[in-house]
Structure 1
Amino acid sequence: MQNTKKQGVLLVNLGTPDAPTAPAVKRFLSQFLHDKRVVDMTRWLWCPLLHGIILPIRSPKVAKLYQTVWMEEGSPLLVYAKRQADKLKQQIDMPVELGMTYGNPSLKVGLEKLLESGVEDVIVLPLYPQYSSTTTAAVSDGLTKAYQSIPVMPSYRLVRDYHDHPTYIKALAESVRRSWQDKGQGDYLLCSYHGIPKRYADNGDIYPQHCEATTELLRLELGLTKEQVGMTYQSRFGREEWLQPYTDKTLEQLPSKGVKKLDIITPAFSSDCLETLEEISEQCCELFIEHGGDVFNFIPCLNDDELHIQMMIEIINES
């Protein structure tokens, strides 16, 4: 039976501070790190640690990092998210709104704007290619909470993942080929994914399997051998063991193995943000050069690339 309800799209990403200041970063990190999907420690242990030590120490430091990547229009993640939404609106015949799991615009605000447009059926597209309980499942939790204050909830479908979608893989491959064309091909292509605690995967989170599948499909699309491609995990936090191999430790070792010219891509990130523009493009570059590397080519995220938008359209049409 054909769906006669008016449809709309809610594009979702993690979120970002409202400003590159310590207070704004503290508000954002507090909301983010309070989520049990992100940190599942017992609350009576975690909350005093978070508010007494972590937020007061980390917020000013993280704010300074944000200041190095902040764009004229705002936070990179939000700037690119708006560009993605604008381009998507121009190419599909339905309303499109943004909603962030943490920070602004919130999931609730995005939903309310869709409802104001008369939308009765929402396609929720979290821009997390690989599923994780720390990201996609957190979006589902956030939607449930947002619906509690909405008198008439619309029907909705949540896109769980698209780690192996052909157009996603094609878009990644094209971004790599463009880098090769502009800067020459490196000795090795490293795919760096955002990490999660190893314990989460041990308890059933399928994120590492999705990352491995994306890497292998990208390798095949580019026609590279298994020796020419690797994958690692970045952005670990705290003392607990996270998924390995770690990006930073790998970058320290690659030059001694003959990799002097490196291409690095971050397939788990749909938009450039602090973790790609500062951690990878700056910190990891310095680390690689310090340990004997010669050339470090950071390949930007898909952002508002036309193939990325085309992928979104295909996913929406398939939903």
Structure 2
Amino acid sequence: MSKGVLLVNLGSPDSTNPKDVKKYLGEFLMDPRVIDLPLWARTLLVKGIILNTRPKKSAAAYQKIWWEEGSPLIVLSERLQKKVQERVDIPVALAMRYGSMTLKKGLQSLVDQGVDEILTIPLYPQFAMATTETIDVKVEELKNEFFPQLTIKSLPAFYNKPEYIEVLSKSIAEKLEGLEYEHLLFSYHGVPERHIRKSDITNGNCKMDGKCCFKKGSKQHEFCYRHQCEMTTVQVAKNLKLKNGTYSTSFQSRLGFDPWLKPYTDRTIERMGKEGVKKMAIVTPAFVSDCLETLEEIAMEGEEIFHEVGGETFTTIPCLNERDDWADVLSKWVNEWVDVEAAVVSE
């Protein structure tokens, strides 16, 4: 069998034009794994309310961070894909879950190169319904409808892989070197609390009390986004030898009025500023590519909040983006998959 790899990221509007942003938001928010309401309720919320109020505001936010080459997330993902391709001997394609760089196009590009066995790599360190799961489900739907000849496997969440923790830790250490800071905040993309419960394969083991995340041996941890975020922080803090009290975890980008994972990033930044923290650094390990949520929501809005309440220095740490060592790690995982599959065939 001829193998290939499909890197998959979130996606982006084609431009900062409100019409393009509205189209993108419509596809994204109508995904039942993003807004997991009954179709009638999701349609009413998204098409009746959000798409009539949010596109202009979101377009203005995109305009603040848009590059000459296009969407930062797309550009950075393309650079990463190119570097991984240079490091492996099989075809590597790139696709987005939403937007014009569709999963179907990504799969077709590999098929056109003679590939019939694909490893998809969702570029999300932690598992979540609205990220990894929606990619896996959509890929399976496309396979069944258009590519029945393909054999497709997906790389599981890699939040606890030593190579990932090492490169993430190194990227943070490089930015913090010589920098005076009082607190390092690990900000992860938020999800509704009900998503955590829906992903609970133990049917009730998750208590949403912040304690079960740290219990060892729970089967639920394989699919618990909160646990995986907490463990990412713990492992990086251990690697960097951070002292207790000098770092913490929070969650950003909530939508609507339902309870989302706490503590909230914006309120945490505000609280710390009010409590006298003058120098803060912030990293966003739920993302491997800088995007609207990191470049605008954190680096711009977060800094503004911090300064408004008396904070002085607000340092944002870039995502892994197209770092050479990150491309090395992805290439290592690809080659390991190729070697394992080759060994199975030879048996």
Which interval holds the TM-score relative to the shorter structure?
over 0.9
Other-structure match for 1:192: 187
Aligned amino acid, residue 228 of structure 1: T
Q: List per-residue Cα deviations over 1:54-98 (Å, max 9, x = no partner).
A: 101101110111011111111010000100000111111110101
Secondary structure of the residue that 2:11 maps to in structure 1?
Answer: coil
**Structure 1 residue 301: Cα displacement:** 0.5
TM-score of the aligned structures, taking structure 2 as reference length: 0.88
Q: Which moved more, 1:255-264 or 1:270-279?
A: 255-264
Task: Provide the secondary structure at the position in 2 that maps to 1:135.
Answer: helix
Give how far 1:151 is off.
4.7
Residues 73-125 of structure 1, C-alpha deviations (whole Å, 9 max, x = no match): 11010000100000111111110101111112101100000011111210100
Measure, in 2, the Cα distance between the counterparts of 1:214 and 1:261: 23
Aligned partner of 1:58 among 54, 58, 64: 54
% identical equivalent positions: 40
Instruction: Report the residue type matching 1:21 in the other structure.
Output: N
* 3-state SS of paired residue (1:41): coil
| 1:33 maps onto 2:29 in alignment | yes
Asked if the contact 1:179–1:185 (Cα under 8 Å) also holds between the matched residues in 2, the reply is no
Query: Which residues of 2 match residues 261-280 of structure 1 at below 5 A?
Result: 261-280=279-298
Query: 1:265–1:299: 8 Å Cα contact kept in structure 2?
Result: yes
Separation (CA, whole Å) in 1 of partners of 2:30 and 2:236: 35
2:96 alignment partner, one of 94, 100, 110: 100
Check if 1:76 corresponds to 2:94: no
1:234-249 to 2 correspondences below 5 Å:
234-249=252-267
Letter in 1 for 2:312: D
Distance 1:191 1:46 in 2: 31
Q: Counterparts of 2:195 and 2:122 in 1: how far apart (Å)? A: 20
For the pair 1:282 / 2:278, whether they are aligned, the reply is no
Give aligned pairs, total. Answer: 314
Equivalents in 1 of 2:130, 2:51: separation in Å?
A: 20
**Are 1:167 and 1:307, in contact at CA under 8 Å, matched by a contact in 2?**
no
Matches within 5 A, 1:29-178: 29-178=25-174
Structure 2 CA distance for partners of 1:151 and 1:237, relative to 1, 3 Å: closer
C-alpha separation between the residues in 1 aligned to 2:147 and 2:94? 21
Partners of 2:290 and 2:236 in 1: CA distance: 19
**Which residue identity does 2:297 align to in structure 1?**
E
Q: Residues 198-277 of structure 1 correspond to what in structure 2 (within 5 A)?
A: 198-203=193-198, 204=200, 206-277=224-295
Cα RMSD of the aligned pairs, angstroms, is 1.2
- 2:185 and 2:250 in contact (8 A); partners too: yes
Q: Does 1:310 align with 2:306?
A: no
Q: In the alignment, residue 14 of structure 2 is paired with which amino acid?
A: D
Query: Counterparts of 1:259 and 1:15 in 2: how far apart (Å)?
Result: 35
**d(CA) in 1 for partners of 2:179, 2:155:** 36
The whole-number CA distance in structure 2 between the counterparts of 1:149 and 1:198 is: 33
Whether the aligned pair in 1 keeps the contact of 2:250 and 2:265 (CA below 8 Å) is: yes
Q: CA deviation at 1:227?
A: 1.2
Worse overlay, 248-257 or 274-283:
248-257
SS of the equivalent of 1:129 reads coil
1:15–1:303 CA distance, 2 compared to 1 (3 A): same
Write the distance in 1 (CA, Å) between the matches of 2:141 and 2:101. 15
Asked if structure 2 preserves the Cα contact closer than 8 Å seen for 1:11 and 1:97, the reply is yes
**1:48 Cα offset (Å):** 2.3
User: Is this contact kept in 2: 1:124–1:157, CA < 8 A?
Assistant: yes
Which deviations, in whole Å up to 9, do the C-alpha atoms of 1:126-177 show, x marking residues without a partner?
0000001111110011102222342543111101200011121111111111
Cα distance between partner residues in 2 of 1:43 and 1:120: 35
Aligned residue type for 1:212: E
Q: Which amino acid aligns with 2:43?
A: C
